[in-house]
Amino acid sequence: MKLKYKPIVKDSRSSIYVQRIYQPYVEGNWHFHQEFELIYFLKGQGMRIVGDHISNFKEGELVLVGQWLPHLWRNDVDLEKNDHPDFIVVKFRDALQGVNIFSLPELAGIKRLLKTAKQGIKFSSSIHVKVHTPLIKLSKSRSIDKLIYFLKILQILSYEKDFQLLSSPGFILPAQISGENRLQKVINYISENYSKSISLEEIAGVTCMTPPAFCRFFKTRTNKTFSVFLNEVKVSKACQLLINGEKSIHQICYEAGFRSLTNFNRTFRTYKRMTPTAYRANYHTFQ
């Protein structure tokens, strides 16, 4: 698999692509497209990468991805049927059927929202109660109702002040995709082998590069070092395990790919500003 342009299936009867998807496995292809993408998970959990940002997603997540910004959502394959992801995807361009309605003065707030989305926006949980029902209705609507719900949702999001920008401002959008096949191989390899020790020599071999050449390549593509990226994957997996189930901190440490509790606690605190125990307690406090 490689980073690829992924156009939507065009429908001459609609300028907005909307689909509700329920399936065992969320496709893990690293891809980009000309359309903005709004994705809302009613159910599901797994890993999310947007630009150079990596974290875990869970039920209730709402993210707006800007044009051309590479991204992927990947869930755990071994899930019970009742845990299969259920999500709504909305894709649209800034010009709907060639008409740039967002240039209208009445939609200036939405235009600012779309400009901000070039880094990817993860909205806070407080917004979900406002957009949950409109998104469900949007996924079922046709004709003018579809456009009305679509604009209403964007209007709500444009008023929101509590959100997180995902990708860093310095992330380079893919003007060309040459060499991105290697990056996808790296992402796939890490996703499948994070639980064991992955050396720099080993991962460089996946791309058929020398370690120094790989380090330069990876930093250029992701704006991060390989070690930072790998630690983020491990911490993301640890967060999922802490949130779900009753496994001990000791079990989670090794299942997430860490070799000692000391290293696990130190690394987790570096990325999450709290211990694994505090993270679990905080999560359950706010449920």
What domains are there in the chain, each with its CATH number?
4-165 (2.60.120.280), 180-285 (1.10.10.60)
pLDDT of residue 63: 97
pLDDT of residue 2: 47
Model-level pTM? 0.68
The rounded mean pLDDT for the chain is 84
**Residue 91's pLDDT band (cuts 50, 70, 90):** very high
What's CA 159's distance to the chain center, in Å?
A: 22
Of 109, 132, 119, 133, residue with least CA distance to 36: 119
Q: Is the pLDDT of residue 249 over 90?
A: yes
Place of tokens 């917004």: 127
Burial of residue 249 (number of CB atoms within 10 Å: 0-12, 13-18, 19+):
middle
Q: Give the amino acid at 27.
A: E
Q: Residue 225, SS3? A: coil
| Pairing of the two strands 4-5 and 31-32 | parallel
Share of the chain above pLDDT 90, in %: 40
Return the structure tokens found at 192. Answer: 């499948």
pLDDT above 60: residue 213: yes
Q: How high is the pLDDT of residue 178?
A: 47
Q: Is the model's pLDDT at 131 over the cut of 50?
A: yes
Ramachandran area for residue 267 (φ above 0: left; ψ -120 to 50: alpha; else beta): alpha
Least confident of 90-99, 228-237, 258-267: 90-99
pLDDT, average across residues 112-124: 95
Query: What angle in degrees, to the nearest 10, is found between the helix axes of 108-116 and 143-159?
Result: 70
For the chain, give me the number of helices (H) and strands (E)? Answer: 10, 11
pLDDT confidence band for 154 (50 / 70 / 90): very high
92: left (phi over 0), alpha (psi -120 to 50) or beta: beta
Mean pLDDT of 211-217: 91
Lowest mean pLDDT among 7-21, 47-61, 180-194, 257-271: 7-21
Q: What average pLDDT does the segment 20-46 reach?
A: 84
- Residue positions counted in the chain: 287
pLDDT score at 183: 78
Please report, rounded to a whole number, the percentage of residues in the chain having pLDDT higher than 70.
85
Indicate whether 172 pLDDT > 70. no
Checking if the pLDDT of 86 tops 80, the result is yes
- 94 — pLDDT class (breaks 50, 70, 90): confident
Owner of token pair 């920008």? 165
